[in-house]
A and B are shown apart, each in its own frame.
Chain A
Amino acid sequence: MIEALIAGLGQVLSWPAIGLMFVGIGAGFVVGMLPGLGGATALALMLPFIFKMQPHEAFAFLLGMSSVVAMTGEITSILFGVPGEPVTAAAVLDGHAMAKHGEAGRALGAALFGAFLGAVFGAISLMITIPIVQPLLRSFGSPEFLMFAVLGIAFVSSLTGSSPAKGFAAAALGLLLATVGQAPGTATLRYTFGQLYLWEGVAIVPATLGLFAIPELVDLAVHRTSIARRDIGALGGVRQGFADVLRHRWLAVRAVVIGIVIGVAPGIGGSGAQWIAYGHAVQSAADPKRFGRGAIEGVIAPAIASAAERTSALIPTVAFGIPGNVTTAVLLGAFIIQGLVPGREMLTTNLSLTFAMAWTMIISNLIAITICVLLVRQLAAITRIRGALLVPPLIALVFLGAYAERNTLFDVMVALAFGGLGLAMNALGWPRAPLILGLVLGGTIENYLSLSVNRYEFEWLGRPLVATLLAVSVLVALSPYLQSWRRRRKAAPA
């Protein structure tokens, strides 16, 4: 095993693999910062180039690209309030609020360092858990995966702000929107109103862009100032951001665990992971009211979870050929092109290649964070540019981001519709995070629910892990109210 570990590192550092990894990192930088062009799209575009490469070269190139996407996506989310990737949308809430307060450098430092740690620990989990994960995952069926998604939706209770009814209604709207399109396992078309476009359902990318980016864009245009409205402190602050992550190390550890668990459980993906981690950060904070106004924990937890999810999603892909998210689903195509069969072979004869993948993710993230830190002052300086110069390029980015994934102007219309919804919710104090969490998890929950009922009827409710996860979900859902009740009881005079 140690030999394979060293051989894997040697493969990554050999020429031309290392050169190809740098090319991949460069592409990942651009893709991550551009809204709409997700890691999966970029991977799909690059697949034709790997036919003539050796397997370790191909994965150095592809993973070098995809593993830095989550990190650089944070930059666009924090600086402009436009999610660079759907998996970095949570950074808009507190990261962009910090940028407005003149703390872009600190927010970037925390998000980048967090994303780096998440990616590294996700990759280490791949190295360590590969031998034990096979028997563990084999004991999971669709009911257990359903319960992981239900546990995710339970975190809505932490995202509801001061009005639980509004928060849960927003989550229900998200879940309802996730049912648009063809019903799983049937030919029934739901809420499509005769529109062919709606057969595929509501796309996450334009919905996220509209809900989060358009309200920020309108805010910038309305105030006619730069993004940073307050001039406090130096532009840097990146060291403080790093220190913040270390200061909140236990939150970081929990976010890593959330990311890894969600990465291993197929279906939920990075979008769900970041919101669940955000919900957990709110839930575990002493003063949850700071969130949404520039709480550093709201930047750290989602950045770590999203990056950890991205790297650990390789575990079920390598071990079983089950993709943990959309990116790894595309990556399965690379396995086929290279003539590799996921499963036992990747854990025995090709073990060094599996380790090479993990090493690629660690090294590429190390290179990416070094470049980002060198550029952070210049990046943060963007927040001082006059708003009138930023609004047109940002509108172009939102439109192109919504359009580029499926190449249809209908997606831009969806982004505009969600933009209107986001504006109204923002103005009236309705939380947006539960809506997007519902939209992200709705499809997964319904699919696994349908599979579970079809296969086991309702007997699956009695399975030990299902019952445990259900109990944990109820506790998570009730936790903010129990905490608030305990605080009130403590505060009340004896």
Chain B
Amino acid sequence: MTRRWDRAFALALAVVFAVAAYLALAWSEIARLFPLAVALPGLILALLAVILPARTEPAEPDDEELPRRELVRRTAITIAWILGFFAAVYLLGFLISIPLGAVAYMRIIGRERWTTTLAMAAVCWAFIYALFDRLLHVPLPTGELLRALGLV
């Protein structure tokens, strides 16, 4: 199963190198020299990785080895949470979405108590506000949704 994905990854990489080399052909000699010098050997190496038998090293022994199905399920859930955090940042900005996301994550995934959850969310908010907004004056995005609604 992993070997099939490994081959698919190597093949995808080979396609990237082939497309990169093809696009480079349209540029001037000086602009295409380095991309071609990298993409062509890269293509050969990626194809070698497709063909050659994999010599995979044994994975690091884990105290709590999860069944593969559960591992994949939890990984997918975590990726969804990370993407959800990003969507929230895009729509609501950092100052609202990070404490909000922290509360949601700690309650739903961590099943933490409300007091711990709210205290942690408050610390996250205070840290971002004090350091990035007040002290360093990093222009934090205000959120597209809030802007569209005319709230900021």
> Does B30 have its Cβ within 8 Å of any Cβ on chain A?
yes
The 5 closest A-B pairs by CB, nearest first: A388-B110, A172-B42, A392-B102, A188-B31, A183-B31
Stretch at the interface among A113-121, A137-145, A159-167, A306-314: A159-167
Is A230 part of the contact surface with B, judged by Cβ < 8 Å? yes
A165 touches B49 (CB 8 A): yes
Total residues of chain B contacting the partner, CB 8 A: 72
Contact with B along A398-432 (1 / 0, CB 8 A): 01100110010100110010011001110111100
B120 within 8 A of A: yes
Contact (Cβ within 8 A) B42 A173: yes
Let me know if A230 and B63 touch, CB within 8 A. Answer: yes
Q: Is the CB of B124 within 8 A of A391?
A: no
* Least CB separation from A221: chain B residue: B78
Instruction: Tell me if B114 is interfacial: C-beta within 8 Å of chain A.
Output: no
Q: Nearest A residue to B38 by beta-carbon distance? A: A175
Give the docked Cα–Cα distance between A190 and B83 (Å).
29
Assess whether A487 is interfacial by the CB under 8 Å rule.
no
Which of B30, B41, B71, B132 sits near A400, CB closer than 8 Å? B132
Contact partner of A388 (CB less than 8 A), chosen from B64, B74, B112, B138, is B112
CB pair A416 B138 closer than 8 Å: no
One of A386, A391, A404 near B138 (C-beta < 8 A): A404
Contact of A190 with B98 at beta-carbon distance under 8 Å, contacts A163-B55, A175-B38, A393-B124 already known: no
Nearest-neighbour CB distance to chain B for A49, whole angstroms, equals: 13
Residues of chain B at the chain A interface (Cβ within 8 Å): 2, 5-6, 9-10, 13, 16-17, 20, 23-24, 27-28, 30-31, 33-35, 38-39, 41-42, 45-46, 48-49, 52, 54-57, 60, 62-64, 66, 71, 74-75, 78-79, 81-83, 85-86, 89-90, 94, 98, 101-102, 105-106, 109-112, 116, 120-121, 123-124, 127-128, 131-132, 136, 138-141
Instruction: Name A residues whose Cβ lies closer than 8 Å to a Cβ of B.
Output: 30, 34, 37, 45, 97, 161-163, 165-166, 168-169, 172-173, 175-176, 179, 183, 185-186, 188, 190-191, 214, 217-218, 221-225, 229-230, 289, 293, 386-389, 391-393, 395-396, 399-400, 403-404, 407, 409, 412-413, 416, 419-420, 423-425, 427-430, 442, 445-446, 449-450, 453
Judge whether B102 and A409 touch: CB under 8 Å: no
Residues on A with C-beta less than 8 A from B111 are 388
The verdict on A428 contacting B28 (CB below 8 Å), with A218-B75, A218-B79, A229-B63 known, is no
Contact B57 A409, beta carbon cutoff 8 Å: no
**Is B124 a contact of A449 with CB atoms below 8 Å?**
no
- A185 surroundings in chain B (CB, below 8 A): 30
A162 pairs with B55, CB closer than 8 A: yes
Q: Which residue of A lies closest to B30 (CB)?
A: A186
**Residue from B78, B98, B138 in contact with A222 in the complex, judged by beta carbons closer than 8 Å:** B78
- Across-interface contacts of B90 in A (CB, < 8 A): 409
Q: Which of B13, B64, B105, B139 contacts A169 (CB 8 A)?
A: B13
A169-B49, A223-B62, A429-B56 are known; give 19 further A-B pairs, CB within 8 A: A161-B57, A162-B56, A163-B55, A168-B45, A175-B42, A186-B30, A188-B27, A188-B31, A190-B27, A225-B64, A229-B64, A389-B110, A391-B109, A392-B85, A392-B105, A392-B106, A400-B94, A423-B79, A428-B5
Q: Which residues of A contact B112 (CB under 8 A)?
A: 386, 388-389
Which of A165, A179, A293 is within 8 Å of B60, CB to CB? A293
A191 to B24, CA, bound (A): 9
A396–B124 alpha-carbon span in the complex (Å)? 8
CB closest chain-A residue, reference B90: A409
- Cβ-neighbour of B139 out of A165, A166, A407 (below 8 A): A407
Asked if A393 and B27 sit within 8 Å, CB to CB, the answer is no
Q: Kindly list chain A residues whose C-beta atoms are within 8 Å of the C-beta of B49.
A: 163, 165-166, 169
Query: In the complex, which residues of chain B have a beta carbon less than 8 angstroms from the beta carbon of A396?
Result: 94, 98, 102, 124, 128
| Most chain A beta-carbon neighbours within 10 Å: one of B31, B81, B83, B136 | B31
Q: Is the CB of A416 within 8 A of B45?
A: no
21 pairs of residues in contact across A and B, judged by CB atoms under 8 Å:
A163-B52, A163-B54, A166-B45, A169-B42, A172-B17, A172-B41, A183-B27, A190-B31, A190-B35, A191-B20, A218-B82, A221-B81, A222-B74, A223-B64, A229-B63, A391-B110, A392-B121, A409-B89, A420-B79, A429-B57, A446-B34
Chain B residues, Cβ within 8 Å of A389: 106, 110, 112, 116, 120
